[in-house]
């Protein structure tokens, strides 16, 4: 039986009414047996004795010819089969009496689509007249994949939808709950449950902006199904933040146009029809999807080799072997190979190309050609064996040659100048380091701009420029939970101590890097992130790994091996020790942007009200004059937020949304020295801590010729700005420090405010 559809039925003995049966026998002047129930079960039913007022033998047999044709007690038949098949024990009984509320909802939803004659014809039994096809299906028919009508074929639905074939859910119930919404075909000829006409119209509005191939890349669970991507996006994708195409971010769209989750589909359709989507670049960065420009044969045939490059057959033992694993994508592999060969480096390295994509004969020829031309190591798997096993074969090769450090690199990774030198320097500085991982746009916990995200959209500068900025970082290396196979340097010491990747447990390509790093931690070695090295992952999409069965399985194995890892990962995310490294990149991007764009600076609290409206008005005027706006918002006594607005929209600086005042003073000092700096609108320093007030005062004095101090009400004298006391009454105006301290003592936003210093700073900034 299908779970949850039927409530528990009566036991057979509960269907027998002893008193009723005794009276009926007495009325016929028959001898009353010792065991009435046994009497009924053996002979009484044959004599026409009803077992209870609720069960009418004559009615049951008359309505069910198939029961007449077998030598079986009708009550037992009803107990065993009939009650679940919707057969009635008497003319007044309901067929659906045994269904749960959930079962009834399903029954009412489907009953109009049932073809009784068609269903009964599949039973291959004469005389079945009084069953309810849905009840029978719930109880027995689903096992044999019987169809409730010609319009729904359980066999067809299962065979054409791989996810249904893999799972345990009943095809009819899946179709009712999800499939008809997803546009899955219920039979070769169409759909049993049509969608509302207006919903179909809305889906058709969405269809032109949806790229089916791109959408299915985000939803691997829908591969080999009859799902219509437009239907799935309308009903489920919008709620789950899936993107319709490579140039549109659902998450960012609903930041621009917020609405309840349940209204997202109609909201999205409205914005398509109103033209809003044409006016806004709805991606997290305001730029297009990051794409790999590819590398031509000409580029790979003529360029300057890195100074540190060593031919693979040279007897020299390099400082590091670079193992490039090609797993997918022709241009990715060549771009990665070109970057490794061309990036300026001093430290000695050899390259071993690992080809796990033998199906691509053209690529294999190219890789073999360049391996021969530049004297690279080359390994070709005769059949694909997965990332972990491929890397392990490479590690075995270099171990047999001359052991050294190993740097594993995915073929969709592009590296930049000094990358090897910087990463090796960390190993040289500390023998306790097992792995070194650079920052990357898609490095999980070492990702930039947003940590734990696949940052697959362009930003206002190139990734090569990001790498150059990273080289200027003075942030100390950060201990991390795990490196990333995307680009991970492994020390020779760690390889000798820990051995290769665990390909048996993580052969599907997820988790082998995490496992290696956990083994390193358990052995007392460190995994670090290098804040001064940045590499790029190209041709990525905003994927949903959480939907990938292989990823789910690997995470399960990982948590079984390391039960503490999930909590450690949670702590790492919340502690965010790499924030300073990302902030350095954001700050330098900000300064670079401002060098080429005239701008004003505004500073105020975050309490809303008239001040917030004034800031918005000033911002609109500035943008109309082609001035960018650096908006600084004080969040609390020690932290602020920096956002940048311009005529082209926002400059997205995710890591400056919570910036410590020490960094703020340094940033402002650099900003006001730029030739493009125009004005500093100082609106309010309310909620700023004492040190931040002093810092802002110092910066304001240095920008005095361009400083515009905006006085809101009585803020210069009163931190509440309105001369009211704690119960909202007018206090009489300027009061003594002692009275003001007492008044502000319970102020939630500034409980320790020094009113004398407040007035001094305010006055100082007006001079």
pLDDT value for 227: 96
Predicted structure pTM score: 0.74
Say if residue 91 is exposed, middle or buried (CB neighbours under 10 Å; 0-12, 13-18, 19+).
Answer: exposed
pLDDT value for 330: 42
pLDDT value for 147: 94
DSSP 57-89: HHHHHHH-HHHHTS-S-HHHHIIIIIHHHT--S
Residue-wise pLDDT for 637-686, tens only, equals: 889 999 999 877 778 899 999 999 888 989 999 999 999 999 999 888 77
Write the Ramachandran bin of 7: left for phi over 0, alpha for psi from -120 to 50, otherwise beta: beta
The answer to whether 57 touches 47, Cβ cutoff 8 Å, is no
Averaged pLDDT for residues 292-301 = 76
Q: Distances in Å between the alpha carbon of 553 and those of 92, 503, 510, 561, 671? A: 53, 14, 9, 13, 50
DSSP 3-state of 168 = coil
Write the Ramachandran bin of 458: left for phi over 0, alpha for psi from -120 to 50, otherwise beta: beta
Chain length of the chain: 767
d(CA 303, CA 297): 11
739 band by pLDDT with thresholds 50, 70 and 90: confident
d(CA 52, CA 57): 10
Residue 569 has pLDDT above 70, yes or no: yes
711 band by pLDDT with thresholds 50, 70 and 90: confident
Residue 541 has pLDDT above 70, yes or no: no
d(CA 647, CA 645): 7
Averaged pLDDT for residues 162-183 = 92
DSSP 562-620: -TTHHHHHHHHHHH-TTHHHHHHHHHHHHHHHHHTS-EEEEEE-S--HHHHHHHHHHHH
Range name among 14-23, 137-146, 405-414, 724-733 with the lowest pLDDT average: 724-733
766 band by pLDDT with thresholds 50, 70 and 90: low
Tell me the three-class secondary structure of 638-706, residue by residue.
CEEEEEEEECCEEECCHHHCCEEHHHHHHHHHHHCCCCCEEEEEECCCCCCCHHHHHHHHHHHHHCHHH
Averaged pLDDT for residues 283-291 = 78
pLDDT value for 547: 59
Buried/exposed 156-172: b ≥16 CB within 10 Å, e otherwise: bbbebbebbeeeeebbb
pLDDT value for 508: 65
Say if residue 449 is exposed, middle or buried (CB neighbours under 10 Å; 0-12, 13-18, 19+).
Answer: buried
Number of Cβ atoms within 10 Å of the Cβ of 205: 16
E strands in 266-357: 320-326, 349-355
**Highest mean pLDDT: which of 106-115, 119-128, 330-339?**
106-115
Residue 329 has pLDDT above 50, yes or no: no
The answer to whether 655 touches 449, Cβ cutoff 8 Å, is yes
Torsions phi, psi of 659, nearest 5?
A: -115, 130
Say which DSSP state 321 is in: E
**E strand or H helix at 182:** helix 180-182
Averaged pLDDT for residues 549-569 = 88
pLDDT value for 157: 95
List of domains in the chain: 1-101+118-146 (no CATH), 208-279 (no CATH), 297-576 (3.90.550.10), 597-767 (no CATH)
Residue-wise pLDDT for 24-45, tens only, equals: 888 887 788 889 999 999 999 9
Residue 331 has pLDDT above 50, yes or no: no
Residue 279 has pLDDT above 70, yes or no: no
- Looking at the DSSP bridge assignments, the partners of residue 162 are none
**Highest mean pLDDT: which of 10-14, 357-361, 517-521?**
517-521
Residue-wise pLDDT for 349-373, tens only, equals: 999 999 998 877 788 888 999 999 9
pLDDT value for 540: 61
d(CA 598, CA 472): 25
Give which of 603, 605, 763 is closest to 687, Cα–Cα.
Answer: 605
Cα dihedral 216, 222, 224, 227, rounded to 10, equals -90
**Highest mean pLDDT: which of 130-144, 485-499, 607-621?**
485-499
DSSP 3-state of 732 = coil
Averaged pLDDT for residues 715-729 = 77
Averaged pLDDT for residues 742-754 = 65
Q: Distances in Å between the alpha carbon of 347 and those of 322, 341, 413? A: 12, 13, 20
Query: Average pLDDT of the chain?
Result: 89
d(CA 647, CA 531): 32
Percentage, residues of the chain above pLDDT 90: 60
d(CA 348, CA 503): 29
pLDDT value for 729: 84
**E strand or H helix at 198:** helix 197-206
Give which of 433, 487, 441 is closest to 464, Cα–Cα.
Answer: 441
- Looking at the DSSP bridge assignments, the partners of residue 379 are 354
**E strand or H helix at 764:** helix 755-766
More confident residue, 166 or 110: 110
pLDDT value for 625: 94
DSSP 3-state of 443 = coil
């Amino acid at each position: 039986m299908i779970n949850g559809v039927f409530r528990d039925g009566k036991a057979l003995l509960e269907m027998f009414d002893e008193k009723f049966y005794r009276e009926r026998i007495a009325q016929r002047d028959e001898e009353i047996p010792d065991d009435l129930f046994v009497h009924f079960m053996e002979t009484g039913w044959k004599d026409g004795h009803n077992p209870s007022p609720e069960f009418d033998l004559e009615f049951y047999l008359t309505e069910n010819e198939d029961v007449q044709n077998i030598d079986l007690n009708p009550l037992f038949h009803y107990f065993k089969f009939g009650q679940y098949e919707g057969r009635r024990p008497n003319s007044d009984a309901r067929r659906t009496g045994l269904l749960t509320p959930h079962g009834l909802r399903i029954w009412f939803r489907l009953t109009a689509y049932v073809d009784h004659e068609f269903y009964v014809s599949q039973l291959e039994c004469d005389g079945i007249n009084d069953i309810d096809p849905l009840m029978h299906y719930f109880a027995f028919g689903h096992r044999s994949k019987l169809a409730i009508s010609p319009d729904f074929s359980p066999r067809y639905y299962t065979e054409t939808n791989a996810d249904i074939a893999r799972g345990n859910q009943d095809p009819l119930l899946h179709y009712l709950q999800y499939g008809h919404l997803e546009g899955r075909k219920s039979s070769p000829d169409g759909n049993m449950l049509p969608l509302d006409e207006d919903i179909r119209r809305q889906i058709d509005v969405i269809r032109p902006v949806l790229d089916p191939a791109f959408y299915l890349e985000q939803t691997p669970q829908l591969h080999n199904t009859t799902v219509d991507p437009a239907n799935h996006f309308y009903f489920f994708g919008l709620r789950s933040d899936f993107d319709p195409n490579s140039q549109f971010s659902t998450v960012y769209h609903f930041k621009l146009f917020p609405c309840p989750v349940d209204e997202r589909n109609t909201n999205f359709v409205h914005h398509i029809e109103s033209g809003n989507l044409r006016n806004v670049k709805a991606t997290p960065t305001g730029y297009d999807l990051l794409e790999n420009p590819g590398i031509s044969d000409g580029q790979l045939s003529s360029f300057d080799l890195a100074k540190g490059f060593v031919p693979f057959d040279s007897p020299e033992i390099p400082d590091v072997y670079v193992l490039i694993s090609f797993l997918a994508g022709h241009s990715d592999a060549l771009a990665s190979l070109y970057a490794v060969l061309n990036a300026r480096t001093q430290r000695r390295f050899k390259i071993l190309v690992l080809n796990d994509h033998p199906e691509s004969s053209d690529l294999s020829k190219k890789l073999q050609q360049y391996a021969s031309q530049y004297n690279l190591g080359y390994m070709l798997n005769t059949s694909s064996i997965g990332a972990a096993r491929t890397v392990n074969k490479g590690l075995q090769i270099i171990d047999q040659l001359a052991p050294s450090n190993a740097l594993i690199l995915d073929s969709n990774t592009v590296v930049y100048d000094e990358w090897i030198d910087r990463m090796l320097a960390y190993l040289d500085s500390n023998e306790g380091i097992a792995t070194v991982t650079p920052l990357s746009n898609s490095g999980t916990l070492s990702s930039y701009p947003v940590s734990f995200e696949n940052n697959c959209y362009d930003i206002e500068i190139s990734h090569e420029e990001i790498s150059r900025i990273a080289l200027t970082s003075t942030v100390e290396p950060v201990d991390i939970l795990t490196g990333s196979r995307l680009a991970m340097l492994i020390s020779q010491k760690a390889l000798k101590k820990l051995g290769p990747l665990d390909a048996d447990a993580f052969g599907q390509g997820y988790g082998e890097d995490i496992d290696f790093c956990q083994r390193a931690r358990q052995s007392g070695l460190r995994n670090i992130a290098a804040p001064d090295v940045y590499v790029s992952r190209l041709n990525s999409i905003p994927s949903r790994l959480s939907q990938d069965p292989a990823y789910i399985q690997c995470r399960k194995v990982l948590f079984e091996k390391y039960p503490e890892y999930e909590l450690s990962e949670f702590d790492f995310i919340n502690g965010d020790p790499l924030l300073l490294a990302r902030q350095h990149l954001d700050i330098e991007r900000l300064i670079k942007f401002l060098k080429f764009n005239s701008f004003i600076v505004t500073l105020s609290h975050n309490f809303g009200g008239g001040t917030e409206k004034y800031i918005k008005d000033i911002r609109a005027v500035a943008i109309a004059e082609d001035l960018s706006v650096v908006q600084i918002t004080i969040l609390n006594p020690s932290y602020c937020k920096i956002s940048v607005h311009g005529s082209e929209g926002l400059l997205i600086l995710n890591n400056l949304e919570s910036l410590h005042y020490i960094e703020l003073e340094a940033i402002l000092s650099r900003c006001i020295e730029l030739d493009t700096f125009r004005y500093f609108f100082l609106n309010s320093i309310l909620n700023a801590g004492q040190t931040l007030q002093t810092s802002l005062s110092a910066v304001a004095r240095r920008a005095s010729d361009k400083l515009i101090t905006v006085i809101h009400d009585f803020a210069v004298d009163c931190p509440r700005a309105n001369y009211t006391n704690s119960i909202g009454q007018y206090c009489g105006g300027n009061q003594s420090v002692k009275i003001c301290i007492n008044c502000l003592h319970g102020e939630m936003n500034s409980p320790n405010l020094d009113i004398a210093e407040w007035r001094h700073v305010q006055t100082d900034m007006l001079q």
